[in-house]
Structure 1
């Protein structure tokens, strides 16, 4: 074992991973092309309490050892990769959950899985809206660190909109609390907002106070199939004009639908111009769509899980593009299949990850387009 591993094992006992084959599993996150270090090249601490985090960060500060905080390692960016000679500090095992139905808050550890929090809140008639695509696996600590959003973020907001307070261990091992538990909090600096989205560069979150909202009625889901891309975008524009905003509108282009249908039966027709799934039928029908309404949980899950079969999410700009650049791309050979969060303007191109082919972000403006490799 390395000196760092030996020292921390003496301080933390079984919190430190001593088996290199086990430690190697903490070398990377879900970034597809990432190559991890060998388990003997870094030290893994699996914290179970705030005190474990404090001890680790104090040791790292005293000995000038770099630390990489990790949650559930579901991110696809490579940001949580281990550093040679450094410490991987995992908070995955810190899973305490406390629901206060009166104040409508949840006080949780950073290792709590997003969907587990949703389930705990639902037992009290409450909901936690942020829903990253990896919500069944990702942890609240990682959500806070990256300010995760999700498919419904345009209507309900992102993680930062639901974090009222944090407990954070700073790099030297000092513990600070930010924010409040009350609905109103207008005094002082917004230190909570400073930590949300900082990706572990300012400290390690050991507890989060999260706002909950009343649980809504079961959602209705509409599958609307349009003959062309132009008709699809006319349907999306019509939805944006209505008073009751859909919680989610996701557009899949023809190649995406064909690819998904080849992967499994999700109830989609093939060879379409575009398929937005939404909550209202008549406005889409007036723009030439064939629509079907579903109230059953099983069929809704079939529709929405299809979106997860597409590989990457590449955020781009404002929600009012003219789709000129998208249509140009549609005419090119070997173009990617795409899904679009139609209300936010997020385009998610999907390409096979080979040495000669990488995901691209497509920036669509009012009168021009740009492809960034």
Structure 2
């Protein structure tokens, strides 16, 4: 006898399935029913993290790229002016005509080698400093994840893109300030939510089977992901675990600091004003504004563990201290030390590099984890 499903039954089943997806729990195994349209196994097995909050201008800085969120009534020129970048290039990269009115919260991707500018004129360039080779802590965690970017092609929808990356359509829409039925524009970039893989559970006797993972042999490969921006890495010198990212975010003001001896664990490496404060996961150190050519001093006795340069030739100095502590000095030149040198507390090691503004980026690391330099100086 053939079974007939009334409209109320279908709607009820869809509602149950939707609720199961919202709570990231496992529900009825209906993958083989109704042509597979209710198959949400992959999404159910992968919970997602929250999208990072933007700064006051709508900029979100990830380790290797940046995006900016549009405001109500924005055109691409308004967004470009707010973050100090070229409007024509920004529009072309995102497939957005200059006269188009942007949707509130629309994600605008910054092209490679284009970075938002802070209120003080300093570029908010996300950079990567890999100090994992220098760490004494073998248990330090992995490199923080960043979302993939997908470039939309003609005919794609929120649903089809979510299936490419095994995330729920609801999560994809939420991350990109979309509705489930939003019309996508060819050339538009979407952020793919970062998933937290959950172990496949085993059902207890009498509880029934848990929905297995469906085959993926016919699933197309994700398209449109951008390669990461150029990153600077330290040379291998010791046991390795994972890299640590050091994005440089928005400006703050702070008191004038003096590079002098004190009872603190470390001394301040340069005299100047703190223009960017420490914020875990956003700015892994402090930026101290100082004149070009100002002396940069070793924060304490130690050994120069590494000297390297980023892709633009800007020097990075890492000094290894007792108790598994490292100090990192970037945006310097005219180096006075070399790898392997023993240094004393307060010994001049370099000069502040020219810039608008000129500043020293200073970090304190315990193993691979950054810590607030203010707790040590």
TM-score, normalized by length of structure 2?
0.23
Mark the structure with the bigger radius of gyration.
Answer: 2
TM-score, normalized by length of structure 1?
0.23
Q: More helix per residue: 1 or 2?
A: 1
